[in-house]
Amino acid sequence: MSARAEHSELAKRVLSAAVLGPVVLVALYLGSPFLELVVTAAAVAMAWEWDRLCGARRFGLSGWAAVLSLAVAGMAAWSRSYDVAGLALVLGTLAVYAAAAAANRSHLAWISAAPIVIGVPCAALLWLRALPMDGFETALWLIGAIWATDIAAFAIGRLVGGTRLAPRISPRKTWAGLFGGVAMAALWGLLFAVWAGAKTPWLLCVLGACAALVAQAGDLGVSSVKRRFGAKDSSNLIPGHGGVLDRLDGMLTAAPALVALILVSNAGILAW
């Protein structure tokens, strides 16, 4: 990519982030029902992108089945009925499979994965924000860690270059970018811990680095799906960024992982 193209891409990324970033932060601060509306809208967009990635020439019945299940799961999460949300996602998976099979589509397993792959992380983020003691802080820490990872990995990867991280999956990612992203997420964890008054700031620093690694796994996972289906981006909904899946790929793995950690430890991040 030429230097002019690089600058154009960076300008688009900065402008898109300047518009979308405050929307996410405001919804996160206000909480229910604003966050549920934003997350559900993002989930619907990702469902469309997933169906498109899997070869859909038009948004058909299988796509609508995925959207419906995600919308129902979003409403259930709004009322804190996470068991209903899980049931909606399971039934949605079966409905998407049946609709895709009836339409004689190929890649049935990939197509029908949409409700689970997209719905579980979205429900996990809503669950984190709804935590009674430090829900806002927990969700803010996670999103900040993912953003710090993405920004540093992009900037340092372009600046330093070097050995490719996974050339067969995502040719532009480098080990330098990964290390830069991990370091920035660790720094974010430390600064956040000091600001929020966490009991053990060093632990949030370490967890920030771990969150970066888990988020990068989600990034590579989405990249592998795109590579399998021969797509550069999941869509062009966000100028300079590609699609919603491209921007939220880290959340797909990081949010469920944090939920699992909180459930196992039976404590929030500020109590660690």
DSSP 238: B
Q: What is the CA radius of gyration of the chain?
A: 18
From first to last of its 272 residues, the chain has per-residue pLDDT tens of: 555 655 556 566 667 777 888 999 999 999 999 999 999 999 999 999 999 998 877 888 999 999 999 999 999 999 999 999 999 999 999 999 999 999 999 999 999 999 999 999 999 999 999 998 899 999 999 999 999 998 899 888 888 878 888 888 887 888 999 999 999 999 999 999 999 988 889 999 999 999 999 999 999 999 999 999 988 888 888 776 678 998 899 999 999 999 999 999 888 888 76
Contacts of 185 (CB under 8 A, 6+ apart): 145, 146, 148, 149, 152, 208, 209, 211, 212, 215
Residue 4: its pLDDT value, please? Answer: 60
Short-list 25, 60, 66, CA closest to 45: 66
Cα(141)–Cα(16) distance, rounded to whole angstroms? Answer: 21
- pTM of the entire predicted model: 0.92
Residue 61: its pLDDT value, please? Answer: 93
Centre a 10 Å sphere on the Cβ of residue 178 and count the other Cβ atoms it contains.
22
